[in-house]
């Protein structure tokens, strides 16, 4: 059975209204290609990548996904790093036509990218900012609730509260992110007016992700209260509760200023945790939904599972009755 197309599935030729998130240290070419081949959007996370690595990962994704699926490959570019323009230009030169920009102003590169014929989606965390994205000319917005893994908005709006307000505020397609891991969640988001869902944490724990095996294990062993949003004084981020988290918590409880937090964070903390697998002193970014993730499937099995959950839930809801 085929799901009906909506504005988002049409825009990116998706078989399901599902997007595999671009994640620093996690979303490489192999993961994005597996997603594109499974009929969902596969995003390479450029955040941690120097230009030579980025080139290698894009070429790998294109090769693995093949000509008939590579149009479903996208690039996530967090705009807070100095080399984002070079990353964008490299990706454009390699034929990438879909860009998810985040952590910066949507005005920065939207016109530039649209002039080159690319589609642009910007990630945001409040209805006001979503309106600014629309004003900047993006094709769609990702709205990310407080539950989400990775860097986060300061205002703690949950996905359930944020989503309907953004849907009512803007005319462009809205993609919901933060707290989704299965087919039921996608249907809930569609009911609230989203045109699709972006999942991050769920895709960290897949066979194809670049996350260190220890990081994947940490997710499947996590419980519902294993994460907390921290470091609001610098860049808010949802952290796995480990020794590094405890150290940050102590500093925050003692009202440490941002310079002390930055000193503790140091350089390479995220690489140490998510790429090198140091579960004690590394920075491990995961979403609240980690508590519900209990296996490490292939992307293809995961997408098939989500699809059948959507169909089962639709049948179970049986919303019509004869008066
Ligand atoms: C390990 C990790 C790294 C992430 N890195 C990025 C990133 O580099 N750029 C970005 O825009 N979002 C990043 N995110 C956020 C995701 O793109 C996605 O929106 C979020 O994970 C959705 O929430 P969920 O984790 O509850 O599924 C990251 C999330 C995780 C879990």
Whole-model pTM: value is: 0.97
Closest residue (by CA) to atom 12 of ligand 1? 23
Write down the architecture of domain 7-211+297-317 according to CATH: Alpha-Beta Barrel (3.20)
Give me the mean pLDDT over the 76-84 stretch: 92
**For ligand 1, which residues put their CB under 6 angstroms from it?**
21-24, 26, 45, 47, 76, 78, 102, 123, 144, 147-150, 177-180, 198-202, 204, 274, 285-287, 289
Closest residue (by CA) to atom 7 of ligand 1? 23
Is residue 140 predicted with pLDDT exceeding 90?
Answer: yes
Spacing, Cα 76 to ligand 1 middle (Å) = 10
Spacing, Cα 10 to ligand 1 middle (Å) = 24
Q: What is the mean pLDDT of the chain?
A: 96
Confidence band, pLDDT 50/70/90 cuts, at residue 198? very high
Say how many residues make up the chain.
323
Q: What ligand 1 atom has the least distance to the C-alpha of 147?
A: 26
Is residue 163 predicted with pLDDT exceeding 80?
Answer: yes
Spacing, Cα 285 to ligand 1 middle (Å) = 8
Residue-level pLDDT at 3: 85
**pLDDT tens string 19-49:** 999 999 999 999 999 999 999 999 999 998 9
Residue-level pLDDT at 223: 97
- Sorted by where each begins, the domain ranges of the chain are 7-211+297-317, 213-289
| Joined tokens for residue 152 | 């986060």
Residue-level pLDDT at 247: 96
Residue-level pLDDT at 319: 77
DSSP string covering 121-183: EEEESSHHHHHHHHHHT-SEEEEE-TT-SEE--SS---HHHHHHHHHHH-SS-EEEESS--SH
Q: What is the DSSP letter of 285?
A: B
Spacing, Cα 22 to ligand 1 middle (Å) = 7
Residue-level pLDDT at 281: 96
Confidence band, pLDDT 50/70/90 cuts, at residue 77? very high
Closest residue (by CA) to atom 5 of ligand 1? 23
The H or E element that residue 198 is part of is strand 196-199
**pLDDT tens string 270-318:** 999 999 999 999 999 999 999 999 999 999 999 999 999 999 999 998 8
């Amino acid at each position: 059975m085929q799901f009906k197309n909506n504005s988002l599935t049409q825009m990116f030729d998706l078989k399901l209204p599902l997007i595999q998130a671009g994640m620093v240290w996690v979303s490489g070419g192999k993961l994005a290609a597996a997603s594109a081949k499974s009929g969902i959007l596969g995003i390479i996370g450029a955040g941690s990548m120097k230009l030579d690595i980025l080139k290698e990962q894009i070429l790998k994704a294109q090769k693995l996904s093949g000509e008939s699926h590579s149009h479903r490959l996208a690039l996530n570019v967090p705009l807070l790093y100095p080399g984002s323009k070079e990353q964008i230009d490299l990706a454009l030169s390699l034929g990438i036509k879909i860009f998810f920009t985040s952590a910066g102003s949507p005005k920065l590169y939207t016109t530039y990218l649209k002039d080159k014929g690319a589609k642009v989606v910007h990630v945001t965390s409040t209805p006001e900012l979503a309106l600014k994205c629309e004003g900047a000319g993006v094709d769609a917005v990702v709205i990310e609730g407080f539950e989400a893994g990775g860097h986060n908005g300061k205002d703690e709006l949950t996905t359930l509260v944020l989503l309907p307000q953004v849907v009512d505020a803007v005319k462009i397609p809205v993609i919901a992110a933060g707290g989704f891991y299965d087919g039921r969640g996608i249907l809930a988001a569609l009911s609230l007016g989203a045109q699709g869902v972006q999942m991050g944490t769920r895709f960290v724990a897949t066979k194809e992700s670049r996350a260190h095996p220890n990081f994947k294990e940490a997710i499947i062993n996590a419980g519902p209260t294993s994460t907390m949003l921290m470091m609001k004084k610098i860049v808010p981020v949802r952290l796995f509760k480990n020794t590094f988290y405890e150290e940050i918590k102590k500093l925050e409880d003692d009202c440490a200023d941002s310079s002390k937090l930055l000193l503790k964070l140091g350089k390479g903390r995220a690489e140490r945790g998510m790429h090198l697998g140091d579960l004690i002193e590394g920075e491990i970014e995961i979403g609240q939904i980690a508590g519900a993730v209990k296996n490490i499937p292939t992307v293809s099995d995961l997408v098939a599972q989500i699809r059948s959950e959507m169909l089962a839930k639709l049948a179970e809801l049986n919303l019509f009755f004869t008066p």
